[in-house]
Amino acid sequence: MRHKITVVGAGMVGGALAQRLAERDYADIVLVDIVEGLPQGKALDILQAGPVVGYDSLVTGTNGYEETTGSDVVVVTGGIARKAGMSRDDLMMINAGIVAGVVRQAAAASPEAVLIMVSNPLDAMAQVALAVSGFPRQRVIGMAGVLDTARFRTFIAQELGASVRDVQAYVLGGHGDSMVPLTQLTTVAGVPVAQLIAPERLEQIVQRTRDGGAEIVNLLQISSAYCAPSAAVAQMVDAIVLGTRRILPCSVHLEGEYGITGVFSGVPVRLGAGGLVEVIEVDLDASDQAALRRSAAAVEQVVGVIERNRDRIEGGLPELLPHSSS
């Protein structure tokens, strides 16, 4: 029996992801979007590439959730970009409403699915999805660390003229300015990166990693990144659907690991059948540990804004931070 994967959002990331997953040929794909014709057209286009590329994945486009029933994995990419005159809080509340509505419908259709969240602000939207779905934390995972780590590895490889395959690294924390590239654990063919790149230059690479998404937005003007994000999600889906138990940096709901409780943050985790298998706790120096906790605190602030305004969201939201007094 073939696996079934739903991708919610037929924009640039969702469309690219549907194509990557179809080409893997281990699952049938359902592409969902509220825009009539968009998911149907992209699905048909991807389907017709099958004879050329060589895959038999069935790709279906739809504006509803009936076709998604029984999905093994649901990837949520939906949301809007910030527009002129819109505050960050307004953007957060709009996207929280979109995510809440999507997750309610997707979870009802596929109550055993693993949710992979891509919508921004990533860590806060994963928190919304966890609360709305009622799923255990093992089945709600945010995509951020795989992408941020890929950018970090790319920039280091470019700096040294090395193969990206030889660069091993982790980027932890929230998906944004507070992310934490672990330079002390970064190696190139086993050699610590600090022995290869001067500290001031390495810090510039770290900052470019933090600004990686904004750099692409500024260049494209009319779009944000979609090639690397879709590849990052596909790697996570591989680990879950194929049960490979790979260790990848992902955003998960922490329950005491790294001294953090009650919020999503990017940490190394083992992914396999059913989603999160275990959180991997690596030894961090005092500086990285403090940075990771600051990152988690920043996520908690964002989630707090949504929680305090949750009555603005259609259908309401459960408490997002049960340990808080708000």
Residues with catalytic roles: 175
Q: CA-to-CA distance for 310 and 318, rounded, in angstroms?
A: 8
Q: Sheet of 73-76: strands edge to edge?
A: 59-62, 27-32, 3-8, 73-76, 114-117, 140-142, 246-255, 261-272, 275-279
Q: Beta 167-168 vs 187-188: how paired, if at all?
A: antiparallel
Cβ-proximal residues to 202 (8 Å cutoff; 6+ apart), any chain: 183, 193, 194
What interhelical angle do 122-133 and 88-109 show, nearest 10?
40
Question: Reduced to 3 states, what is the DSSP secondary structure of residue 268?
Answer: strand
In 3D space, the residue among 7, 31, 75, 21 whose CA is nearest the CA of residue 53 turns out to be 21
**Phi/psi at 99 (5° precision):** -65, -45
